[in-house]
Structure 1
Amino acid sequence: MGFLDKLFGKKQEVEVKKEVLELKFDEIPDFLDKVYSESFSEIEKNVFSNLAEIKHLIKALEESLSNLEKQKVEQDTGHQRLRKIVVTSKKTLIERMRNMTVKLAPIQSNDFIELSSYCSNSVNLLETEVNSFGKNIAYTGIVLKEPIKDLGQKLKELNSVFIKTKKLFDSKKGLLDISSAKKSFEEIKQKNQLKQENSLKEKELLNQIDDSEEEIQELKKKLTELENSTEAKQHENLLQQKSGLMEKKQQTKTKLAELFYPVEKLLRSFRKLVEAKHFILTQEEKNLLNSYLSNPFLALKKDNNAETLKKIFNYIKELIKEGKISLKEKEKEKKINALNSLIEFDFFGNFFWELNETDKNLAEIEARINSLNISSKISSLKNNFSSLEHLKENYSAELQKQKSKSQELSQEIISLKNSLEKGLSEFSAKEITIQLKH
């Protein structure tokens, strides 16, 4: 309830519904230009009409004050003390209201901001002043009811016009934000464009994911067919044979190493004598000696029937007997017997032939494995499969990023749209809704 309603009673208000207007997004720039143009002409037409009415009402208020001033209050009849209070209140009321009407007089200006400030200040001034001498109004009205009623009606009308004009200015203050509204429009437009671009990227990524999945399924099918093929079974059988031969070869190597173990130290001692030139060997013999100490298996392949090896064993045996390779007496006989055993040993029958046969079989199996080319084919398919899976994962990750961007853009667009609708509604005095493109 307003301050004047408390003093003079409240007039029933009629709720005015705003006109609802739906705008297509592309129509906003033209709408802003139109509202801007129309609103200023409306201000020029309505505001100056209201100011003229304010001037007229102030004059009418002054006439009511003059009429009130002429009204005499008989102090000799009725409640004399009360009537004295009424006389004093009447005088104070007239004096203060005349001062107020001077302050409320319309200013001579065409400036939008100055006129808006004048109306806003006048509304506040009217409320403050009338409230300050409210008791004077009440006391005076006890005796002079009709003049006070007339005065109250004039004040209500004046206050109503001030409020109406202030609201008009307030409703048009949004005009100053039209440039901001245009920026919001451009921002929504840009974000809509980005969203559309994102949508195209999402479709492209979905197609790429589908294509990758089709290729993956095709590769899976090829891989399954290849792994279950006759060639694959042959390949598996050959791998098992190869594994068996490799194991046999390793057993032979181990057996050879065990055979050399009792005389390995003697061979190393002999090499030291050769290196110190206390015993002379041919270059070929030196090479084979080093080879037997590092890899007996390879050395035996180079030394047919182990002839050079047996010559070296004979050299060592003579050096032991001569004392040039120092051993304890108990060890001498033991080591010489070991050397004699190896000199008599059939390396060709027990190792050389067997190793050659194993290598020959391995070479044949390896050739057959290579001719099938299954491992290479399976490896190639698996590599392609892995690459496609990785590519699909990258597409999926990128798709999620694009979806997050689109969602973020949608939220920003809705927020900007709501803000723009509110701004447009405020300075157009209509209920504006914006229809965005989809």
Structure 2
Amino acid sequence: MKWIKKLFGKKEDSSEERGLKEINFKDLPSWLDAVSQKISSRVEKDVSGLVKELEVSLLALKESNSRLAEAKVEGDFDIRAVKRAKSNRENVTKQVATLTDKIRVQDSRDFKSLESFYGASTQSLNTCLEHMNQSFRYTRGVFPEESKEVSESLASLGKVFNELGEVIRVNKKEMDAIEAAHSNMNKVQGLSASIAAEEMELESRNRRVQALKAETSKASQALEDFRKGPVWQSLQNLQAELNASREKLRKAETGLSSLVLPFSGHLSRIKKLHESGRYTLKPEVKKQLDICLEAPVHVNPSFFPELQIIFEDNALDMQTQKKEKALLQVKSAISNFPERKKEYLEALKGFEAKKSELESSNTGKLVELEHKEAELLSRVCSLEEDIEDSEKKLTSLREELEHQKKKLLSNLSLIDSDLRVNFPSPVSEGQHEFS
């Protein structure tokens, strides 16, 4: 069946003058439609005769297939050969009948319809040949004349399809280029619109960021002026005094705690003895002991004489040397704690007074100015990031636009190599010409 695969004849591409050599981008759709219509008319003219030949070939194939199906065995053949030939004849006629049913000549003569028809029909033809090829060898031996007619009809049909395929091949390059050019144009238009919109947005953002920077500069100047004024200096002085009083309070608290720290370990042990029932503390003494361990500055000075009694109590199981040392430390606390507590309370009072004075000062203006400056700086930063993103996006869009324009020009050159296209501003200035 190799004869089915051969091409019959070759048609050279025709070179036509398009006439139009320069065109504006906006006029390309109508120009492409006109070229497409011209090619379609040419194709329709070229295939009109082939369609008639195709109808004749299909009818001849149906008739030869019917004769093969009805053919009688003539001659002296081995019964097994006849049986095998008849069985395979059924497959041959079935495949041919399926083929003729699938190939429906269409009224539409546009290029896409013809291309689709050609693809589907040749696929059906190849499938038919593939499925009947083996069977045809057996059928041909017993029904030679009828098989020859079917073979010739298939060859005739194959020749028509080869000629139709050549017409499609000759024009396909231009038709594909037209379709691709339409797609490129849509992308160019879409990208141009996106660029225009993004440029407007970028311009708007630049105006807004300049206005914000001017506003930020005024806010920063207002804050600087405020910090140079008497109110700010007064606040700074108060803050310095508060820091000094805080440091004085810290030292007083440290001095007070240092009286308790040396025997705090013994206090913890006494607490455990009380909790385990091995030593009993009076409720008030237990309360003051807990305070002394947690916050020595709040302990009542009367606790230390009570603590001295506890250390002197023989019921408290404690080494003599440690007990004597602890008693000395407690006596030191009894002597010095009241004075240091007084110093602490005075330092605390001074700190609270300065803190209250600072809090009651008019800091609202400062907070307002600082907040306004910070907010404006944040908005400027955010807008500058948006501007950077817009610039990157514009760069990407412009690169893609140039890429699509080149693809468009490349496809147009396949249709008319002398055509020049004028692209509109601001997408591109001037002309683009094929070389």
Contact 1:252 1:351 survives alignment (8 Å): yes
What letter is aligned with 1:365?
K
After superposition, the Cα gap between the structure-2 partners of 1:412 and 1:22, relative to the gap in structure 1 and judged at 3 Å, is: farther
Contact 1:195 1:406 survives alignment (8 Å): yes
Contact 2:259 2:337 survives alignment (8 Å): no
Contact 1:171 1:426 survives alignment (8 Å): no
Contact 2:304 2:330 survives alignment (8 Å): no
Which stretch shows the higher mean deviation, 421-430 or 234-243?
421-430
Rounded Cα–Cα distance in structure 1 between residues aligned with 2:216 and 2:172: 64
Contact 1:206 1:399 survives alignment (8 Å): yes
Q: Cα RMSD between the aligned structures? A: 3.7
Contact 2:304 2:333 survives alignment (8 Å): no
Contact 1:171 1:429 survives alignment (8 Å): no
The answer to whether residue 423 in structure 2 is matched with residue 432 in structure 1 is no
Structure 2 residue ranges without an equivalent (≥5): 1-16, 46-108, 112-168, 427-435
The answer to whether residue 395 in structure 2 is matched with residue 407 in structure 1 is yes
How far has the Cα of 1:186 moved from its partner? 1.4
Contact 1:23 1:435 survives alignment (8 Å): no
After superposition, the Cα gap between the structure-2 partners of 1:309 and 1:215, relative to the gap in structure 1 and judged at 3 Å, is: farther
Please list the CA deviations of residues 67-101 of structure 1 after superposition, one character each: whole Å capped at 9, or x if unmatched: xxxxxxxxxxxxxxxxxxxxxxxxxxxxxxxxxxx
TM-score by length of 1: 0.56
Alignment of 1:159-178 (within 5 A): 174=174, 177-178=177-178
Larger radius of gyration: 1
User: Is the partner of 1:252 in helix, strand or coil?
Assistant: helix
After superposition, the Cα gap between the structure-2 partners of 1:337 and 1:298, relative to the gap in structure 1 and judged at 3 Å, is: closer
Match of 1:222 in 2: 222
Match of 2:380 in 1: 392
After superposition, the Cα gap between the structure-2 partners of 1:356 and 1:20, relative to the gap in structure 1 and judged at 3 Å, is: same
The answer to whether residue 370 in structure 2 is matched with residue 370 in structure 1 is no
Match of 2:312 in 1: 318
How far has the Cα of 1:424 moved from its partner? 3.6
Contact 2:311 2:327 survives alignment (8 Å): yes
How far has the Cα of 1:289 moved from its partner? 0.9
Rounded Cα–Cα distance in structure 1 between residues aligned with 2:404 and 2:325: 102
Aligned residues: 290
Match of 2:253 in 1: 253
Contact 1:209 1:392 survives alignment (8 Å): yes
Rounded Cα–Cα distance in structure 2 between residues aligned with 1:181 and 1:190: 14
Contact 1:174 1:427 survives alignment (8 Å): yes
How far has the Cα of 1:291 moved from its partner? 0.9
Q: Once the two structures are aligned, what percentage of the paired residues are identical?
A: 19
Contact 1:191 1:409 survives alignment (8 Å): yes
Contact 1:263 1:335 survives alignment (8 Å): yes
What letter is aligned with 1:347?
F
What letter is aligned with 1:253?
E
Contact 2:260 2:292 survives alignment (8 Å): no
Match of 1:347 in 2: 337
How far has the Cα of 1:290 moved from its partner? 0.9
After superposition, the Cα gap between the structure-2 partners of 1:356 and 1:421, relative to the gap in structure 1 and judged at 3 Å, is: same
Which stretch shows the higher mean deviation, 265-274 or 35-44?
35-44
Contact 2:249 2:351 survives alignment (8 Å): no
Alignment of 1:269-280 (within 5 A): 269-280=269-280
Rounded Cα–Cα distance in structure 2 between residues aligned with 1:429 and 1:251: 94
How far has the Cα of 1:40 moved from its partner? 7.3
User: Is the partner of 1:23 in helix, strand or coil?
Assistant: strand
How far has the Cα of 1:203 moved from its partner? 2.0
Structure having greater relative contact order (Cα 8 Å, sep ≥ 6)? 1
Match of 1:142 in 2: none
What letter is aligned with 2:361?
L
Match of 1:292 in 2: 292
User: Is the partner of 2:318 in helix, strand or coil?
Assistant: coil
Alignment of 1:9-408 (within 5 A): 21-37=21-37, 174=174, 177-299=177-299, 303=300, 306-313=301-308, 315-319=309-313, 322=314, 324-328=316-320, 330-343=321-334, 345=335, 347-348=337-338, 350-374=339-363, 378=366, 381-382=369-370, 385-408=373-396
